[in-house]
Structure 1
């Protein structure tokens, strides 16, 4: 199993939409994918998919169910661990809650090829916790200066806290490839100047497309809603890239994932 955290620093950059469509793209490549909605107090994945799971993470944290019990299989071929919505106490996990999740992860995650933590915006304790837990980290930003500033802040805080050095970047809502590359190189320049220990690579550039808004309103992944749109082809390219990268290196076993967790 390969695990990714997907973070943004700033809200409103299309992070959850990216996660959902990437999960769908990989599932179309015959991969078993699980999305863990790690925005625990403000769930978004279920809303964007138009689903109403009977159980969510609250039932695990109160001891009623296990993580495996609340996995929801969507009609799109990937699965979801739902978060709660409007639940203040979920916005910061305590040590006992983290240990409870730890004890159940191997059984819940082992059937899957990919695990995506869809992390909330900002730099809260939950954001840093799930970022450290994953094997790899994807950061999403847009051409807006505030998005670039918040992405830099996220990278800085996570490095200062955990010394994590390597990140993949997605530039979303770009006017064209040139703008996407410009945004990447602007952030790269700042990082090389002030945080030279950090290494970032460009995973992909996603164009601005009105069909994304229409797909979100219809609560349908844009890979389904507008399969011929340029952004749909781009997300498929990223899915292929991730799959090819996994095949070129030795696959990480679940035990390594659990070792990272136990070290937190």
Structure 2
């Protein structure tokens, strides 16, 4: 795959095809959300999907660390006007593309809702032939998380076997449904001992959601607690790449297979969305950089 500087202009039709955007989120930190995002993205690459992994944990980003990458520019540089979004692109393992965020930049956690929307719109300017983008969100219900989940076609909520994880996952689903109109969620049980435990976690969340919320939850599956996954993290590699035959790697491949079967976006839904121009079939660059106009 060519480096970002080698991407030809004008942009090919493939670079302007609709992109499936999958947001990975969790109500609580420490449930393995970033590991899920990284390994799902890598599993999609292995399945033949041209994939971009976007880190939107704007203040405590670590996707680049988990993959052993050293970014020259991050989203913080884009917001500061030091570079364009295209300049942040990193080529990861097996042709996975990565857009990194910054770590330890407090001001990035204090962006306005208008700046979050501007960041979403900036992806209309990204001339890259991809099929899928996986968005790794911060934990919790901050405005950035709500906006980036709303701007995706699918939201994966990661839970683990802790009462606070299930409670906070419910809170995230409630806020997304009532404030942003997101009504469909994929639930992924992480760090479980077996599939039965994963299904029980989903059932708990579904029962309370069905009682109080007008949403639809789908059980995406479970990722087992796996020593090989821990070793892959220490090696700064995705487990699907480092140990492809281990239980967690096989589980991530199955999750990617299911995700590929989701219906492709048919068109814009009338609110903020990533790659909006591709959804409405418009090629070329906008007259004005939407990110710059949003933060001006």
TM-score (ref. length: structure 2)? 0.82
- Would you say the 8 A contact 2:38–2:238 is kept in 1? yes
Do structure 1's residue 155 and structure 2's residue 167 form an aligned pair?
A: no
- Aligned to 2:236, what secondary structure does the other structure show? coil
Cα distance change on mapping 1:151 and 1:99 into 2, 3 Å: closer
- How far apart are 1:75 and its partner, in Å? 2.5
**After the TM superposition, which residues 6-45 of structure 1 pair with which residues of structure 2 at under 5 Å, given as runs?**
6-45=24-63
Instruction: Pick which of 52-61 and 62-71 moved more.
Output: 62-71
Cα distance change on mapping 1:102 and 1:206 into 2, 3 Å: closer
- Aligned to 1:76, what secondary structure does the other structure show? helix
Cα distance change on mapping 1:41 and 1:17 into 2, 3 Å: same
Cross-structure match for 2:150: 132
Cross-structure match for 1:242: 259
Deviation string 1:85-143 (CA, Å, 9 cap, x unpaired) is: 10011113225534543553113165211111100011111111111111111100011
1:223 maps to which of 225, 236, 240 = 240
**After the TM superposition, which residues 16-165 of structure 1 pair with which residues of structure 2 at under 5 Å, given as runs?**
16-95=34-113, 97-98=115-116, 100-108=118-126, 111-165=129-183
Cross-structure match for 2:272: 260
TM-score (ref. length: structure 1)? 0.91
Tell me the C-alpha RMSD between the 2 structures.
2.0
Deviation string 1:10-58 (CA, Å, 9 cap, x unpaired) is: 1111111111111111111221111110001111101111111111011
Rounded to whole Å, the distance in 2 between the matches of 1:36 and 1:193 is 34
- Would you say the 8 A contact 2:113–2:143 is kept in 1? no
Cross-structure match for 1:199: 216
Rounded to whole Å, the distance in 2 between the matches of 1:62 and 1:99 is 16
Cross-structure match for 1:166: 184
Deviation string 1:207-244 (CA, Å, 9 cap, x unpaired) is: 11111111111111111222111111111111111112
Cross-structure match for 1:181: 199
- Aligned to 1:83, what secondary structure does the other structure show? coil
Structure 2 portions without partners, runs of 5+ = 1-18, 277-296
- How far apart are 1:256 and its partner, in Å? 2.3
- Would you say the 8 A contact 1:135–1:257 is kept in 2? no
Cross-structure match for 2:284: none
Cross-structure match for 1:211: 228
- Would you say the 8 A contact 1:58–1:83 is kept in 2? yes
Rounded to whole Å, the distance in 2 between the matches of 1:161 and 1:96 is 16
- Would you say the 8 A contact 1:106–1:258 is kept in 2? no
